[in-house]
Structure 1
Amino acid sequence: MVSSNGPETVSLTVYRALDRGEQPINKNWPQGYALITETRTVAIPAGESLLRFEGVAEGMFPESAIVTGLPKGVREKNRDARLLSPSGLVDSYLKRQVSLTRTDRATGKVRQQAAVITAGPNGGVILQTADGYEALRCTGLPERMSYGQLPQDLSAKPTLSVITHSDQPVTAKLTLTYMASGFDWQANYIAHAKPLDAGSVGKGKVDVFAWLTIANGGNQSFVNANSMAIAGEPNRERRAEQARPTGSGLSLRCWPAQRTHQVPFRPAFNPDQDFGEDNRGGVMYDSAVAVSAIDEENIIVSGSHLRAVKMAQPKAVIVAEQENLGDLKLYRIPEPVTINAKGQKQVAMIVKPDAVFDRVYSANVDNFYEDYGVSIPMSIQLRSDNKTEKGLGLPMPSGQLLLFEDSQFGPLLAGESVLADRAVGDEIDLGIGSSSDVRYSLTTIARTKARQKLKVVITNARNEPVNVEIEIPYELKGSHKHIPKIDGMPTWKATVPANGEANLHYELKLEN
């Protein structure tokens, strides 16, 4: 048997989870997958050999594994999925004898006795000794179990084993390529909106920054890995759920040895309990805690004292390089990085300062049967074209977006949105919340069996003019040249002056 403890070099190409949609990455077990390529140098003896590749990814698809560089190829492949762990040992020794060592607290005397594991490892371990049945570590005495030998079917690491043959001893440089589940990646956008351009209506610039986040849900780290991420949806057939390697600690539960009235009472957690107020009814501050936000302007927020701060822009030390892969997009991290077990790695992905966006206030009057007659906040949209002249002009993978705007108290969150996949030249439309300053109201002026006349009043309480759009998802009666159709939807556009209002009259055709 020949064992390879780990790879010399490794490349990791991560594909997004297909059905995740707008949901964040599953931290416990990411639902994407990866293509992994390793190189290993192995001394192969003459004759038939069992070659073990230790430390492969936990979610490995063994049927996808390809080994190149062997003198006469691979005769047989096996994946060792049972890992060496406390629970794995208990499971392997179920109905078998172990040695139990206990220390008396009073005398310090150590006593050993034979025991048979009758149940475990989930929910506890039940032992049968000469004294009867008992649960492990529930006697109050220090105790441990010893096992006669290491079970052959347990591995310290996830392992792929292959059987090969060589006519003579040889030192071979092997390449192992395989697919594995338990990986994912996503783009996370941070946008910093600057003040609107003077002399224009609704036009401004936004600094667009995106993180590339790669998640590894397995227990294996990838040290100095050449890492890439693939954007797009390659065709991949569904397969049966892959069994993950077993291996974890023991979760032992014991019934209290005291009488019921001696067991300490621990009240259940009350989510409505208020932990954040002092006896004065105000928010409780710990003056000993200082939180620092650092950038070139040296910003500090300490205790209950708050000073105006400037937006701390992310600094792009490493930026992923975008390449074409057929109809897909490949993002290559330009230098090796370590992606730790159960961890995430972030590097800069997109850095586009001063992208041009238009701020538009919009509403959809989809209330044919209801006449609200009340003032309703309009939605805020940031719009641009993914073109070079707009300061963008590059593929933009889907991801969550946070928009920040400066204030006298520093950068504040102004809205959240979801950016869908956008190719070069596509329109970008981000809904970032609603406005309390720009509002609309809808009233019915007249109604008959054949038609309905309505009026929309838009008020603008801001100190600058704003652009507005009203979508009417119904069939209009007569000619409304001032309400053109955009993507098949009658849409009225107007500019509402500062601290002013605008009126829209239209007529709907009713079904008899």
Structure 2
Amino acid sequence: MRRIVLGAALMAAAPIQAQQMVTSPAPTKVAVTIYRAPDRDAGQAIDPAWLRGYALISEEREVAIPAGDATIRFEGVAAGMMAETALVEGLGAGVSEKNLDAELLSPRNLYARVFGRPVTLRRTDAKGHTREEEAIIRSAPDGAAIVQTRAGFEIASCGGLKDAIAYDGLPEGLNARPTLSIATHAASAQKARVRLTYLAWGFDWQAHYVVKLAPGAQAAEMTAWVTLANGDTTGFAQAQAAVVGGKPKFEQSREEPAQTQELVLHCQLSPVQAPFGGEAMPVFAVPPAPPAPVVAMMADVVVTARKRMAPVVVKEEVLGDLRLYRVPMPTNVAAHGQKQVALMAARRVKLGLIHRADVDVAAQDGESQRARIRLRMANRKVDGLGLALPAGGVAVVQQVGAAALPVGEGAMADKAVGETANIEIGASPQVRLESRTRRINDREEAITATARNANRWPVHFESQQLLPDGARVVSASVKLGQQDGHPLWAVTIPAGGKVSLSYRLQLPR
């Protein structure tokens, strides 16, 4: 009699099928194109325990199709596959139906499938002595290993025993690997090279930029990395990997998989007659289970690099209104893992470091505020860029002697060629703005704004004048520009100095 033993390792024998069955164990080639989680902000880090993006997976497989009716099984597909999106190309035979057989062989599913049925409990004590006895699975489908033996109810592997549960066979419908099956009918036997394409949940990707400021903060060395994240139980070896920048419209056709939960049990020990005929062994009473905590999936982080060699740089391609960034060499997209590849090698770019504090006329009079520091870059070839930049986090460092010290961190939205990126990286305690308002009459106010710079170097300063609807500036001490429909004051504040702006504001009737 065949047995499946659940212990330190889980081994399963495939069930015997009476009908014609062909199994493709793995693809010969695979491509994984990852789309970002649609609701995750550019500066928000990937949560490896809850990946909400998706991937387009394309596999090539060689299949021997028998004559007549048959079932073709594609093993090793993504567990998060959306079976309704699966497209099978290259079959000479007709496809009558397809099914995602993704209920995997696991302790949880095995316990649930044999609930209330007898199993064999293989018990090993601290001295290494092993014996077998009959037991009945009494756990709930949550997966806790509660069994009933002649001694009573017990928790497997609790206390001084190491237990393994032996099953007489594999319950129907369980698979050791996620599997897509399709029914076919062929007039004669044939060999086919099949392409399987589908969407799957549980993936994500993130761009991250590192900007190393040059002295004077007028230029910088900029590098960029792409992190590929796979939260699926299936990994893809030597895959052609790519990521898509932008936000394509995607209608969710089903609920995302529920987050895994675990039942936690505690042992209460009391001595009973030893089952091995020697020392007394404990029986384990099952107390009420506490609330099930969320089980976090820990992701392994793998950084690709080659010693004394240039990094592999992602190549940009046009994909309609979106951008496709393709890794130029095969890479492993491991299950429950993350990997980093270079998006952009180190290049010198021009930039500006701007201190910004806006005047809100409706705010409290005389309030002093710290300026926010912004990094400004024009995405143009003449300034060292000129390529589509996907959204991501930005870390800014300053070289001080032999060390690169962090200056600030921010985020950048997707930027097309020709656009300007304003990246807020922190607040400055050295540059402050104070504004005061004086009422002239029912229709006019006088505003005075003063910006101070406590640094030992000059800074570029900007201040947008946020006016009430219908209000307008009738006169000002300096010429003002325009930004987003509001007057903009742009000036250089000398080291240790201050600058002022005065203007008269006409209010609406």
Residue 245 of structure 1 and its aligned partner are, at CA, apart by 12
Query: After superposition, what is the alpha-carbon deviation per residue over 1:258-279, rounded to whole angstroms, capped at 9, x for unaligned?
Result: 69xxxxxxxxxxxxxxxxxxxx
Residue 45 of structure 1 and its aligned partner are, at CA, apart by 2.3
**Structure 2 counterpart of 1:506:** 503
Q: Counterpart amino acid of 1:501?
A: K
Label 1:171 to 1:494 Cα distance change in 2 as closer, same or farther (>3 A).
Answer: same
Q: Counterpart amino acid of 1:15?
A: Y
**Structure 1 counterpart of 2:208:** 188
**Structure 1 counterpart of 2:149:** 129
Q: Show structure 2 runs of 5+ residues with no match.
A: 1-20, 272-304
Is 1:479 aligned to 2:479, yes or no? no
Is 1:253 aligned to 2:270, yes or no? no
Label 1:216 to 1:255 Cα distance change in 2 as closer, same or farther (>3 A).
Answer: same
Is 1:71 aligned to 2:92, yes or no? yes
Residue 373 of structure 1 and its aligned partner are, at CA, apart by 5.3
TM-score (norm: length of structure 1): 0.81
Query: After superposition, what is the alpha-carbon deviation per residue over 1:217-241, rounded to whole angstroms, capped at 9, x for unaligned?
Result: 1111111101111112222222112
**Structure 2 counterpart of 1:451:** 444
Name the Cα RMSD after superposition: 2.8
Map 1:8-23; keep pairs closer than 5 Å.
8-22=28-42, 23=44
Question: 2:306, 2:132 → 1: CA distance?
Answer: 62
**Structure 2 counterpart of 1:354:** 348
Is 1:59 aligned to 2:80, yes or no? yes
Say whether the 8 Å CA contact 2:361–2:465 is kept in structure 1.
no
Residue 43 of structure 1 and its aligned partner are, at CA, apart by 2.1
**Structure 1 counterpart of 2:490:** 493
Say whether the 8 Å CA contact 1:35–1:177 is kept in structure 2.
yes
From 45, 49, 53, the equivalent of 1:32 is 53
Say whether the 8 Å CA contact 1:458–1:503 is kept in structure 2.
yes
Partner of 2:324: helix, strand, or coil? Answer: strand
Q: Counterpart amino acid of 2:462?
A: E
Q: Counterpart amino acid of 1:490?
A: P
Map 1:230-241; keep pairs closer than 5 Å.
230-241=244-255
Query: After superposition, what is the alpha-carbon deviation per residue over 1:44-90, rounded to whole angstroms, capped at 9, x for unaligned?
Result: 22222111110001111111112222221211211112111222211
Say whether the 8 Å CA contact 2:472–2:507 is kept in structure 1.
no
Question: 1:31, 1:344 → 2: CA distance?
Answer: 14
Residue 167 of structure 1 and its aligned partner are, at CA, apart by 2.4
Residue 127 of structure 1 and its aligned partner are, at CA, apart by 2.1
**Structure 2 counterpart of 1:307:** none
Query: After superposition, what is the alpha-carbon deviation per residue over 1:89-134, rounded to whole angstroms, capped at 9, x for unaligned?
Result: 111111211112334668x765433222122352623323333333
Is 1:387 aligned to 2:380, yes or no? yes
**Structure 2 counterpart of 1:341:** 335
Is 1:229 aligned to 2:248, yes or no? no
Label 1:356 to 1:75 Cα distance change in 2 as closer, same or farther (>3 A).
Answer: same
Q: Counterpart amino acid of 1:21?
A: D
Question: 2:126, 2:503 → 1: CA distance?
Answer: 89
Q: Counterpart amino acid of 2:503?
A: Y
Map 1:96-495; keep pairs closer than 5 Å.
96-103=117-124, 110-122=130-142, 124-138=144-158, 140-196=160-216, 204-243=218-257, 253-257=265-269, 316-351=310-345, 353-366=347-360, 368-372=362-366, 374=368, 376-408=369-401, 410-444=403-437, 448-474=441-467, 475-480=471-476, 482-495=479-492
Partner of 1:417: helix, strand, or coil? Answer: strand
Partner of 1:179: helix, strand, or coil? Answer: strand
Partner of 1:424: helix, strand, or coil? Answer: coil
Q: Counterpart amino acid of 1:256?
A: Q
Label 1:139 to 1:344 Cα distance change in 2 as closer, same or farther (>3 A).
Answer: closer
Q: Counterpart amino acid of 1:479?
A: S
Q: Indicate the larger mover: 206-215 or 484-493.
A: 484-493
Question: 1:403, 1:379 → 2: CA distance?
Answer: 14
Label 1:482 to 1:78 Cα distance change in 2 as closer, same or farther (>3 A).
Answer: same
Label 1:448 to 1:256 Cα distance change in 2 as closer, same or farther (>3 A).
Answer: farther
Q: Indicate the larger mover: 177-186 or 235-244.
A: 235-244
Question: 2:460, 2:322 → 1: CA distance?
Answer: 37
Question: 1:369, 1:332 → 2: CA distance?
Answer: 49
Residue 21 of structure 1 and its aligned partner are, at CA, apart by 1.9
Label 1:112 to 1:403 Cα distance change in 2 as closer, same or farther (>3 A).
Answer: same
Label 1:399 to 1:442 Cα distance change in 2 as closer, same or farther (>3 A).
Answer: same
Say whether the 8 Å CA contact 2:458–2:495 is kept in structure 1.
yes
**Structure 2 counterpart of 1:303:** none
Question: 2:306, 2:205 → 1: CA distance?
Answer: 28
**Structure 1 counterpart of 2:291:** none
Is 1:90 aligned to 2:114, yes or no? no
Say whether the 8 Å CA contact 2:108–2:144 is kept in structure 1.
no
Residue 11 of structure 1 and its aligned partner are, at CA, apart by 0.9
Residue 251 of structure 1 and its aligned partner are, at CA, apart by 6.0
Label 1:117 to 1:430 Cα distance change in 2 as closer, same or farther (>3 A).
Answer: same
Identity, in percent, stands at 39
Label 1:103 to 1:342 Cα distance change in 2 as closer, same or farther (>3 A).
Answer: closer
Q: Show structure 1 runs of 5+ residues with no match.
A: 197-202, 260-293, 297-313
Label 1:342 to 1:349 Cα distance change in 2 as closer, same or farther (>3 A).
Answer: same
Question: 2:169, 2:306 → 1: CA distance?
Answer: 57
Partner of 2:479: helix, strand, or coil? Answer: coil
Residue 4 of structure 1 and its aligned partner are, at CA, apart by 1.1
Query: After superposition, what is the alpha-carbon deviation per residue over 1:396-431, rounded to whole angstroms, capped at 9, x for unaligned?
Result: 111110000112461111011110111111111111
Q: Counterpart amino acid of 1:171?
A: K
Query: After superposition, what is the alpha-carbon deviation per residue over 1:320-367, rounded to whole angstroms, capped at 9, x for unaligned?
Result: 110111111111111111111111121111235221112222211125
Residue 175 of structure 1 and its aligned partner are, at CA, apart by 1.4
Partner of 1:149: helix, strand, or coil? Answer: coil
Question: 1:401, 1:353 → 2: CA distance?
Answer: 15
Q: Counterpart amino acid of 1:319?
A: V
Label 1:160 to 1:466 Cα distance change in 2 as closer, same or farther (>3 A).
Answer: same
Label 1:477 to 1:33 Cα distance change in 2 as closer, same or farther (>3 A).
Answer: closer
Residue 7 of structure 1 and its aligned partner are, at CA, apart by 0.7
Q: Counterpart amino acid of 1:159?
A: T
Query: After superposition, what is the alpha-carbon deviation per residue over 1:239-294, rounded to whole angstroms, capped at 9, x for unaligned?
Result: 11255899x9x8662333169xxxxxxxxxxxxxxxxxxxxxxxxxxxxxxxxxx9
